Amino acid sequence: EDGYDLWLRYRPLAGAERAAVLRHARTLVAPAAPSPTVQAALDELRRGVQGMTGRAPTAAGRAAAGAIVLGTPASLPAALRPSALAALGREGYVIRRMAPGVTVIAANTDTGLLYGAFAWLRAVGTGVAPDRIDERAVPKLQLRVLNHWDNLDRTVERGYAGESIWDWWALPDVRERRYVDYARANASLGINGAVLNNVNAKPEILTAPWIAKTAALADVLRPYGIRVYLSARFSTPLELQETDTADPLAPEVAAWWRRKADEIYRAIPDFGGFLVKANSEGQPGPQDYRRSHADGANMLAAAVAPHGGVVMWRAFVYAAENPVDRARQAYDEFQPLDGKFAPNVLVQVKNGPIDFQPREPFHPLFGAMPKTPLMLEFQITKEYLGYATHLAYLGPLFEETLRSETGRKAAQAAAGLTVAQVIEGAQVPGPLTGMAGVANIGSARTWSGSHFDQANWYAFGRLAWDPQASSRAIAREWAAQTFTRVPRALDDIVALMMDSREAVVNYMTPLGLHHIMGTGHHHGPAPWVADLARPEWNPVYYHKADRGGIGFDRTSTGSNALAQYAPGVAQRYADPRTTPETLLLWFHRLPWDHPMPSGRTLWAELAARYDLGVTQARGLRTRWAALAPFVDVRRHAEVAARLDVQAAEAQWWRDACLAYFQSVSGLPLPPGVRPPAQPLEYYKALRFPYAPGHG
């Protein structure tokens, strides 16, 4: 067990369980001349049943007891056709017993059948008896997309799992087997799109040789229901010296993009479209020509529209000209453009207003652009949560954002909407909905750099399918397929996963602190950094600690970023007493002796949180050690080694942050709090010149 098989392990079952699977999967019945997609479904069922029972089902022409029948309304005989298939749409499926011993997997499309096949295997893999499998599922979002921040030289921005899985150099001729396994893993979750290259894009990706490479990948992924997309650099035609400007309103520019889209679609008829990072962190964009984000997005949208493509335009923007509060900028720039985007544009918004921190409040744009499809962007790779060395199951982070009450309503609705409901399209009736996840996938044997990081890929996929799903249930499902189904061990693994992200928050950025990580690489604590060129690059900008107190005042007495939220939410967060403690210093600047609900002062509470984080990190290690009897030796040891690092680095975070905050507050350590192991200067002097994932 080296982790390569992900959650699709299909390890042998024993006794009655094996017998039951054998009884219900003796034969596979499928339409004659199956499409590549149906073939993929049949192959997966065969592989799964063979793995679990030692015997592969055989192909049969007729459904008898022991058959799994795959069919669409066109191919299923009436007696085997479940009701209400139309409501399944293009990607839904139903699994039902339609005759004694006959399991039917039905869908309107072959992709639906593939999803149904994976769902059947998932059910068996999580311990559901085959005769009890009865499932009907329809994805709530249309576009469920991984964003690979993969560079053309095969490095991966913010990647901690080895080099890019795309061997661009050898493409289009060499098509690695790994691409198929990647497609299988995604299809098992319902992920139906992949943006292949970094949002910090190079112009070359849109030249003929790279279009051919992209087309080769599209061919491999297509049978698995996955479309490819590319990140486009806004100034591409200008940089390729094929136009004299990149002004989106210049006719030659629009014409160039139309021709480029035509060229791409000739090679890839189902190309998904473009993802664009514009006027953000030095990337070119329409504002270079005094045009708006809508001008830029709509010009590209017009180029792909005739082919059914979309543009995913990112709202992650901040500029030096906005010194007051970086958290405000996306809303300030985008909200006024509501209603101005073409119908095939989605505005892609990060979960929080800063940048993928261990904890952020939900982004105020959710619910505030009722005429614009908003696509939620999560980061699966753990840029700010300890890379792939710390264990942090992100399901609870994703769920926290998705379940946040925006305080905004759909037209004529009485109740307010959660972020999940907003992205599901409650305000913008129409087909465009989606979720994006910045992938944590590389060519490491584990795919994700660690065994537990696979769970974050898994959780993203499952939540993109159903944004209202429970992260705990997802953890259980993943762990049962990945590690063990022994109930006691499974309970412990799930509990450990569910506690892990909060541990990270506690030892890194408790009580609403944020962005106090090391410069550039974002590894380790550096709350003291104050000398970088732009104010918002410096951690001191975010915590503002000095003798008088700590925290970012985003209320009306400060940056007033709070006013970007719906009145109900803004009101609640305006008062420290009604602000959740977890976000206190995000919204408020408070004196060190501010009384906390625990009865401690803020300073004592902060110290207590850091201590708790260390205790929790150590706890993950001891709890995992106790699971040794239930997990294979190699994977157990590989996880344990990382948990050792995590416990040590939690201590480092705690010590460095307390040493620093003490130095600025001038206060003695609260009673009972152990002094940091080293003087502050020691932590400040640490350097990480070859930290992975940043250029």
Cβ proximity to ligand BDP: between 211 and 508 the closer is 508
Q: In whole angstroms, how close is the CB of 383 to ligand BDP at the nearest point? A: 6
Q: 21: helix, coil or strand?
A: helix
Question: Which of the residues 110, 157, 288, 383 is marked catalytic?
Answer: 383
Question: Which pair of structure tokens corresponds to residue 48?
Answer: 């799964």
Cβ proximity to ligand BDP: between 66 and 535 the closer is 535
Neighbouring residues of 50: CB distance < 8 A, sequence distance ≥ 6: 10, 56
Q: Are 589 and 551 spatial neighbours (Cβ–Cβ below 8 Å)?
A: yes
Cβ proximity to ligand BDP: between 144 and 521 the closer is 521
Question: Which of the residues 150, 288, 355, 424 is marked catalytic?
Answer: 355
Q: In whole angstroms, how close is the CB of 194 to ligand BDP at the nearest point? A: 17
Backbone angles phi, psi at 475, to 5 degrees: -60, -40
Among 351, 358, 345, smallest CA distance to 514 is for 358
Question: Which of the residues 281, 332, 546, 632 is marked catalytic?
Answer: 281
Cβ proximity to ligand BDP: between 199 and 304 the closer is 199
Beta bridge partners of 435: 144, 376
How many other CB atoms sit within 10 Å of the CB of residue 575? Answer: 11
Q: Are 437 and 199 spatial neighbours (Cβ–Cβ below 8 Å)?
A: no
Q: In whole angstroms, how close is the CB of 200 to ligand BDP at the nearest point? A: 5
DSSP string over 165-233: S--TTTTTT---HHHHHHHHHHHHHT--EEE-S-SS--GGGGSHHHHHHHHHHHHHHGGGT-EEEEE--
**Which residues are near ligand BDP by CB under 6 A?**
157-158, 199-200, 277, 281, 316, 355-356, 383
Q: In whole angstroms, how close is the CB of 309 to ligand BDP at the nearest point? A: 21
Q: In whole angstroms, how close is the CB of 559 to ligand BDP at the nearest point? A: 21
Cα–Cα dist 284/147, whole Å: 20
Cβ proximity to ligand BDP: between 541 and 603 the closer is 541
655 is catalytic: no
Cβ proximity to ligand BDP: between 316 and 610 the closer is 316
Q: Are 92 and 136 spatial neighbours (Cβ–Cβ below 8 Å)?
A: yes
Question: Which pair of structure tokens corresponds to residue 186?
Answer: 């995604």
Cis, bond preceding 100 (omega within 30 deg of 0) = no
Among 294, 352, 358, smallest CA distance to 327 is for 352
Q: In whole angstroms, how close is the CB of 281 to ligand BDP at the nearest point? A: 6
Dihedral sign for Cα atoms in the order 25, 31, 32, 34: negative
Q: In whole angstroms, how close is the CB of 113 to ligand BDP at the nearest point? A: 36
Q: In whole angstroms, how close is the CB of 277 to ligand BDP at the nearest point? A: 5
Cβ proximity to ligand BDP: between 147 and 427 the closer is 147
Tell me the CA distances in angstroms from 569 to 6, 164, 401, 562, 564, one per residue in order: 40, 41, 14, 8, 10
Cα–Cα dist 597/459, whole Å: 33
Identity of the residue numbered 235: S
Cβ proximity to ligand BDP: between 7 and 318 the closer is 318
281 is catalytic: yes
355 is catalytic: yes
User: Alpha-carbon dihedral of residues 100, 103, 104, 110, nearest 10 degrees?
Assistant: -160
Query: What is the set of active-site residues?
Result: 281, 355, 383
